[in-house]
Chain A
């Protein structure tokens, strides 16, 4: 029988999930992630699965994987020794960056460290103009000398980013040829291949990061494959990309920068899959853990994709990290988690972005943390139970929470402990509402048309309050949310994308050029598919990033298939105007529209594996109760507490109700209604009771 195994190597835990004959199993496993070689933890987990009889190496025909290997190489600055070749006169583009400080009112700002030093950057005489014209030919003699110099320079990888190479790659290709001649063992990343997009700093940053993580990814893949083979697991290994698509390890090694953020992408895929099971096409995804909350979106069944993001950002502030121009699942991340610290600041209460982290953690962990956190507040409000936290691994100390809240929040602000705890909970929710509004309203999504899907240790606890505040009508808490990314892998399909910059006015006269752009992208994708031996049936989807001429930011707009003619252009115009109106409330009639970036996505038709139907019998045990605080009830009331394993599909309860499971707790507010769906997911309808 055909079996698949998926694992997500996260920062703390490595999660496993399995599927059999196309159906995802309800068997999950969590083992600690091992350092410095995460492959060891993976092998240990696979051993456990084999020993328990859940996995037979001979029957396993597919291994799916999400990894932080590329991200960690960047965060820990442990990537390859990398050189950069750039156009004469522009050596410092990478180090200068965009120059904006991420804190306006501080002058003692620390900039994020670039991945390489100024002495690793080399210039070559050449110049391409904005229209792709050759302004100055490449100095071939100097190029040969430079290639020889790099060959002796102790480098592992070379990034090449020349000005306007997205418009004409000739010179970058010549540089590649010279490097192949003189230093064939160097890993080469070319900007027009990695990120053929206008804006030199961001393109350079992406290309350098690609070169920098490449050797680490290659080594890791080789080591993992060898270890799998030792276990007798020999089928093909696929890796999750940040765009939410699976690719072969060969492609991952060729485009290693695309697997940064692979775990979070898989989590959003699980949400999309659960939405499909439930017939819900528009979802806002809400993943809240110990230090951060991540919000994403699924539009019309498809996870939302953005064309770039930042890695190694300070305080989650935009502009502080290293920009990467790669397609990625859209996520807004803020420093709001269970460990976020509450403190009075200038007479008002503030929660986060400082975090007690996992060590020492919240005061109630009893490991020396003295500052009150969101988790402490949730314990005092009764949302969390003192026992059974984190799969029963620890008992929480409510007295420690009470003391911390009293000392650091209640006394300074003249509040009772309960008022202070409620304030911490409310302020944390407010912070998340801000992020939710960014992912929804600021990006053209009306929250009333969406369902909030919550996972992560703290997500289901805050979700109903967040939904209420942000006018979202429904909350869904999926089954198996504790291993969301591993499950997401099993539900993913192979996917590839290609993007390029070509600035064209959106008018019928551009139709021929537009056809060429999409034809080139399709040829590129087909070649990638062939190299990856991907033979599955799939389909192409087109999108264009457009703006009114003269503006500096583009909107991504899906455009139709088929021939590119008058009606295609008209449809694209209409789609842009509609998207613009949705976000800014008004369009600018008569203004010229420009198409900037062009995106083509190929996705396999196979929808991935399906969820198995929940078959938990109703537990005979009655619910327990405990005192829980709600502002709606003006204080503490006796609230029913159910174990999730005791809830049968079809069960309906009016809030207040709390549902506990090993990895998380779901809070249903007074006035809301909880229903256990046929799939075993928890669906909360706000205001239905």
Chain B
């Protein structure tokens, strides 16, 4: 899958390990520095609170040499973005101060809100490398606020503005004509403009630092060092993969549906480990669906790369060399390799499941690293007009629960599952939007029982304080529970409940619903799966959970036969 240097004949032998190490640590530092600049000047909640962005450096051949440690969601697209850009804009057509923009789902990161900005780095008249940043923007138009509507979206054309690679920045300034077209199609143009500016600043900082590194070491040493970095990364990755017993491992699970009334989606993977290579094949999964949760191959690949790190060594570098031993495939037209114009705005909801399928498959080969299924998460958008200010608002939330249990530990409570992000403070939400959070806390008894129990689900209740609003829900595990491993029980199913006029109505996990003042949406996440036979759980652990209120007395009795409370606490 990866490209190789055109020609590096004529270069002297390899650079020494010290120089390569110094250059490597500096390249990573530059990518991180770009990320700090992007995060701190960004407007989008997904960027600043969720770290839903990435930054990276490329060599002159367009090969990824370093990527900042931010969301794993962009791991799968970042290594390949330069290939797409260079197909439209060959090196000779790029000028200093240019910036190429794209947000196409197949070329980019799997849905339109993720916008790439790629900038060439010129030393004299020659391109010596590239920097890229990608950020999840708050809105790119389409059928619903936030551009991630799932239900009723059958084609990508309904999901907002789609830009194939275009020269959006000239002489370090955004092209006003580009902005007029792009911002004319989005709901919150000021905020989107602010985030584009943040990306431009990040690229600017990265390019300047990359050039300093060239000035310090010289182009020849840089070339040799980069070649070395990619080669040692490849070798290290192969060595790590060889630690997994060779073989072919399969696992299947079901995603509830693609919207109310639709069929379950089969998530099926075959992982093959052989000779220092690892292949992930999702071909046996369901076909692509007519709802906006399809996972373009770039996105599928991202969480396969993530899984490789989790099951080998998390410190594996993220560059072109490290991904050479990894192949990700899926049948064309399948859910995990859809063809355009498959809609994909809500594809983030599937990310946990890509990793979980792999974890389920590798549990047999590497039981000490496997983890039972997580609480699924919920990623709702509630949008409308705030009647107090007359301005549109979008309440975008990230509701995350507990982890599945592992071979020797209970599932962690309340942590971001796969995509790593922070929640958004309640006081910030309430200040920015006409909503009020009524409840935020653990759901007792929701974690799957086991020798080690799953983490609890979390409940969050959101009340609407304006006349009307539209909610696009994006969650799962309302039908198919998070699996347990090695005899551990599955976690409790999740629910989304609309409380209106004292009546409760259960909603589908991906429904779109109109809300009115006083309505409360209650998000109740599933619990994580357990690990090992519940009968082996230590009594002290059962008692501690009870005392801390993570479980109730009745459920403890029902799940754990060995638990015999001495007296009946009131």
Contacts and interface: CB of A to CB of B under 8 A. Distances in A.
Nearest to B205: A585
Nearest to B404: A107
A525 interface: no
Interface string A544-563: 00001011110000000000
Interface in A507-534: none
B316 A346 contact: yes
Given A99-B416, A118-B549, A430-B22, A584 B198 contact: yes
A348 B232 contact: yes
A106 interface: yes
A446 interface: no
Nearest to A118: B548
Contacts of B436: 129, 135
Contact of A92 (B315, B425, B441): B441
A100 B430 contact: no
A97 B423 CA distance: 8
B412 A109 contact: yes
Nearest to B308: A105
B406 A108 contact: yes
B501 interface: no
B506 interface: no
Interface in B546-570: 547-550
A442 B427 contact: no
Interface in B381-434: 400, 403, 406, 409, 412-416, 420-423, 425-428, 430-431
B51 A100 contact: yes
Given A95-B414, A100-B416, 5 more contacts: A99-B400, A103-B314, A163-B427, A346-B235, A427-B21
Contacts, number: 207
A584 B420 contact: no
Contacts of A438: 36
Most buried by A among B197, B201, B231, B425: B425
B442 A92 contact: yes
Interface stretch (B42-50, B241-249, B491-499): B42-50
A198 interface: yes
Contacts of A346: 232-233, 235-236, 313, 315-317
B422 A319 contact: yes
Contacts of B441: 89-92, 96
Interface string B25-69: 110010011001101111101001101000000000000000001
A430 B32 CA distance: 14
Q: Which of B205, B422, B427 has the most CB of A within 10 A?
A: B427
Interface stretch (A150-158, A414-422, A614-622): A414-422
Interface string B316-327: 110000000000
Interface stretch (B12-20, B89-97, B161-169): B12-20
28 contacts: A89-B437, A89-B439, A89-B440, A89-B441, A92-B440, A95-B442, A96-B413, A99-B415, A100-B421, A101-B420, A104-B314, A107-B371, A111-B415, A135-B436, A347-B17, A348-B17, A349-B17, A415-B16, A415-B17, A420-B18, A422-B18, A423-B18, A427-B18, A427-B22, A550-B190, A551-B41, A552-B428, A588-B194
A585 B201 contact: yes
Contacts of A117: 548
Given A99-B400, A99-B414, A591-B194, A552 B440 contact: no
B309 interface: yes
Contacts of A78: none
Contact of B425 (A101, A106, A201, A437): A201
Given A101-B420, A430-B26, A413 B426 contact: no
Interface of A: 89-93, 95-101, 103-109, 111, 117-119, 129-130, 135, 163-164, 198-201, 319, 344-350, 413-415, 419-420, 422-423, 426-427, 430-431, 433-434, 437-438, 441-442, 503, 548, 550-553, 580, 583-586, 588, 591
Nearest to B26: A430
Interface in B522-556: 547-550
B217 interface: no
B280 interface: no
Interface residues on B, range: 35 or more
A614 to B, nearest CB: 38
B265 to A, nearest CB: 24
A119 B547 contact: yes
Contacts of A91: 441
Contacts of B310: 105-107
A433 B22 CA distance: 11
Interface of B: 16-18, 20-22, 24-26, 29, 32-33, 36-37, 39-43, 45, 48-49, 51, 69-72, 190-191, 194, 197-198, 200-201, 204-205, 229, 231-233, 235-236, 306, 309-310, 313-317, 369, 371, 400, 403, 406, 409, 412-416, 420-423, 425-428, 430-431, 436-442, 458, 461, 547-550
A129 B362 CA distance: 48
A434 B29 contact: yes
A430 B29 CA distance: 9
Contacts of B420: 100-101, 104
Nearest to A96: B414
A430 B40 contact: no
A348 B426 contact: no
Contacts of A591: 190, 194
Contacts of B549: 118-119
B186 to A, nearest CB: 14
A281 B144 CA distance: 54
Given A437-B29, A551-B48, A130 B415 contact: no
A302 B409 CA distance: 48
A431 B29 CA distance: 9
Nearest to A88: B439
Contacts of B371: 107-108
Contact of A551 (B43, B422, B431, B440): B43
Contacts of B413: 95-96, 111
A164 B423 contact: no
Contacts of B40: 553, 583-584
A434 B32 CA distance: 10
Contacts of A104: 69-72, 314, 420
Given A100-B416, A164-B427, A423-B17, A588 B22 contact: no
Nearest to B374: A107
B14 to A, nearest CB: 10
Interface hub of B72, B205, B306, B441 (most chain A Cβ within 10 A): B441
B20 A348 contact: yes
A129 B194 contact: no
A503 B427 CA distance: 12
Given A163-B426, A200-B426, A550-B194, A426 B409 contact: no
Nearest to B435: A130
Given A99-B414, A104-B420, A584-B198, A349 B18 contact: yes
A130 B431 contact: yes
A397 to B, nearest CB: 24
A591 B315 CA distance: 41
Contacts of B317: 346
Contacts of A109: 412, 415
B232 to A, nearest CB: 3
Contact of A199 (B42, B233, B425): B425
A438 B33 CA distance: 8
The 10 lowest CB-CB distance pairs between A and B, nearest first, are A347-B232, A346-B236, A105-B314, A423-B18, A552-B48, A92-B441, A89-B439, A349-B21, A96-B414, A413-B17
Contact of A345 (B16, B315, B421): B315
Nearest to B434: A130
Most interface-central of A97, A99, A100, A198 (chain B CB within 10 A) = A99
Contacts of B43: 548, 550-552
Contacts of B201: 584-586
B21 A350 contact: yes
A580 B428 CA distance: 22
A419 B406 CA distance: 43
Nearest to A131: B431
